[in-house]
Chain A
Amino acid sequence: MLLQAIITGILMGLLFALIALGLTIIFGVMEFVNFAHGEFLLVGMLTAFYANQLLGLDPLASIPLSALAASILGVATYHFLVRHVIRGPMIAQLFSTFGLMLFLQNLFLFLTGSNYKMVKRGWLIGKSVRIAEGLVLDLSVLAAGVVAIVAFALIYYLFNHTRIGMAMRATALDGLGATLMGIRTERINYLAWALASAIVGIAGALLANFYYIYPTVGLVFVMIAFATVALGGFGSIGGAFVAGVLIGVIEVVGGLYVGSQFKFTIVYATYLLVVLLRPKGLFGW
């Protein structure tokens, strides 16, 4: 029971970490918090759902589509909204993405209705694998965890071993300094939004494999993503990874022992406790 919960928790946690990764990249590059991040996830989920419905694609096969859709939304958000509020007061920054969140949530309510949707046909749907006595893993959850690890490895490589990734890190550390070194920081900003949104779109496709889709689903996950990012330290990629896994385990194991109605309560309470003790998170600086 416990082992099962821990492993499921780790797998869910990897997905949480992937969702939080997009948030933390944007925060790292431009100190901006996107409250509509959950709706970007929803775009990924809906893309996977409709690709499944209309084209018969498996959610795993529609990962590129989901990434593309979310990425387009991300670039549009930066171009039309964030660019105009980023130099304004913090209150305007916060409310601009609240507005976006309300707008997107209700756009999807308007377009797709409030009913719960679920991907029903797919390679892994409803299949599970028995690894040992009492240890049965849902294949779609397992796939989510594996893809999340691959994505993290790629992002880690991108940020540490490519020129473009190093340029992003330079912009994150010191925007003005990066500009003086000849980095076109405005391009880096667009790139950060495209990349971060693509990542959360991928997470959406993975999530669509085993989770209900409805217009306000983003709120649950965006809160977990905030908790993850704050726990790991805003802007820290490794921090998001560790904190995501930690939160996944806390959620599943806590839900097992305290009651599943409290699984998110425990996550939020842990988050509050940690930020009060370490306001910059576990790995923040």
Chain B
Amino acid sequence: MVMPRFLTYLIRDVRSFSVPARIVLGGGLLFLCLMPHLGFSSFFRTVVIQFLLFSFLAMGWNAIGGYGGQIDIGLAQFLAIGAYTSTMLLVWWDVPPWFSAPVGMLLAVAWCVIIGYPLFALKGHYFAIATIAAVLVLKDLFSNWELIHASRGVHLPLKQAPSLLYLQFHTNIPLYYVVLAMFLGGLIFLNWFRGDRLGYQLRAVKENDEAAKSLGIDIRIAKLKAYAIAAAFAALGGSFHAIYTMYIDPEAVMSTELSMQIALMAMLGGAGTLWGPIIGAAILVPLDRFLGSALGGSKSLQGLDLMIYGAIIMILAAVEPRGIMGILQRITRAVRGDRP
């Protein structure tokens, strides 16, 4: 029997882990699978859901921003396309998310090709700024488009009874498993992606695009493929967000801050590494929520949480641009006694 490539990579990589790494990862996986039944508060569960969702989005960003080296600050536009597709199809024609989410992903990929093809002529800062501008244009259009309720936003219609088809339940436990499945699927997919042809092509482009071109890599196509992956991840995340929160508006799903947050998580953990986005989300989401609930509650302390957030990012950019993965690598090297 021929095994799918992503499975062979998965098995190979798991085998290569050291024993402590296997224990940590196995324990983490077991914890995530059993978490809803371990008696944690529902606040804790919402934090974990947010963590899984943002990890998933940051993984998508990592495809283009980390492996591809193209700093995109506009991932929220694809998230919005996913969220609005799922929402409007449900509102208009009662289409369940199982069908509308793939449609949203297709639309997001189509849109990413339309804007990505011209934008990839730009490099570095120019690309980053252009992606911000692209989202701002789209956000203004969405905010004034009556068909999708403009800036008032849309409430998702509530079903009479809990329904697996429409993913509406009395508790958020089933949705927790949905986002956990997305998270694990995304991780396995990216593990395949980084070890496969496209992953290597992108790293070549990132290191030296002229050299990559001379090796016969079509730079624009390689970047577009990575962008499509990022767009599809973001759109699926957006569909989940819509179903989870039951309400979306342009400000919530396509603000520049959201795009930045996603990118910052991947950067904090370590852009261009498999675990980076997850580590970044594991630090920033709880920081955001717990600081937010501890400090944001009192009016006099508002802003303090994001100040800390900003300070961490500045310090990390100056001290270790490879993010926490870079720090971890240093530590493992020091423990093993290798020379850097």
Interface residues, chain A, with chain B CB atoms under 8 Å away: 33, 81, 84-85, 88-96, 98-110, 113-114, 215, 219, 223, 226-227, 230, 234, 259, 261-262, 264-265, 268-269, 271-272, 275-276, 279
Q: Answer yes or no: B331 CB below 8 A from chain A CBs.
A: no
A95 close to B311 (CB less than 8 A): no
Interface of A is mostly: helix
Cα-based distance from A108 to B306 in the complex (angstroms): 11
9 contacts between A and B (CB under 8 A): A85-B317, A89-B321, A99-B310, A100-B314, A103-B306, A262-B140, A271-B130, A271-B133, A272-B134
Note all chain B residues with C-beta closer than 8 A to A94: 71, 125, 128
Partner of A96, one of B71, B301, B314: B314
Q: Answer yes or no: B219 CB below 8 A from chain A CBs.
A: no
Interface residues, chain B, with chain A CB atoms under 8 Å away: 65, 69, 71, 118-119, 121-122, 124-126, 128-130, 132-134, 136-137, 140-141, 143-144, 256, 260, 263-264, 267, 271, 301-307, 309-319, 321
What is the CB-to-nearest-CB distance from A17 to chain B, in angstroms, rounded to a whole number? 17
Interface of B is mostly: helix
Partner of A114, one of B267, B302, B304: B302
A261 close to B317 (CB less than 8 A): no
B144 close to A261 (CB less than 8 A): yes
Q: B317: nearest residue on chain A (CB-CB)?
A: A96
Known: A92-B317, A110-B303. A223 touches B133 (CB 8 A): yes
Note all chain A residues with C-beta closer than 8 A to B314: 81, 96, 99-100, 103
Partner of A95, one of B119, B264, B319: B264
Partner of B318, one of A81, A101, A103, A109: A81
A275 close to B126 (CB less than 8 A): yes
Query: Which of B130, B133, B271 gathers the greatest number of chain A CB atoms within 10 Å?
Result: B133
Note all chain A residues with C-beta closer than 8 A to B71: 90-91, 94
Partner of A276, one of B118, B132, B310, B319: B118
Partner of A103, one of B69, B118, B311: B311
B321 close to A279 (CB less than 8 A): no
Note all chain A residues with C-beta closer than 8 A to B260: 98, 102
Note all chain B residues with C-beta closer than 8 A to A262: 140, 144
Q: B133: nearest residue on chain A (CB-CB)?
A: A268
Known: A95-B264, A99-B313, A99-B317. A107 touches B303 (CB 8 A): yes
Partner of B264, one of A84, A98, A108, A230: A98
B267 close to A91 (CB less than 8 A): yes
Note all chain B residues with C-beta closer than 8 A to A105: 303, 306, 310
Cα-based distance from A7 to B271 in the complex (angstroms): 47
What is the CB-to-nearest-CB distance from B207 to chain A, in angstroms, rounded to a whole number? 11
A102 close to B304 (CB less than 8 A): no
Note all chain A residues with C-beta closer than 8 A to B133: 223, 226-227, 268, 271-272
Known: A91-B271, A261-B140, A265-B141. A106 touches B310 (CB 8 A): yes
B313 close to A95 (CB less than 8 A): yes
Known: A106-B303, A106-B307. A265 touches B136 (CB 8 A): yes
Cα-based distance from A227 to B136 in the complex (angstroms): 12
Q: B311: nearest residue on chain A (CB-CB)?
A: A103
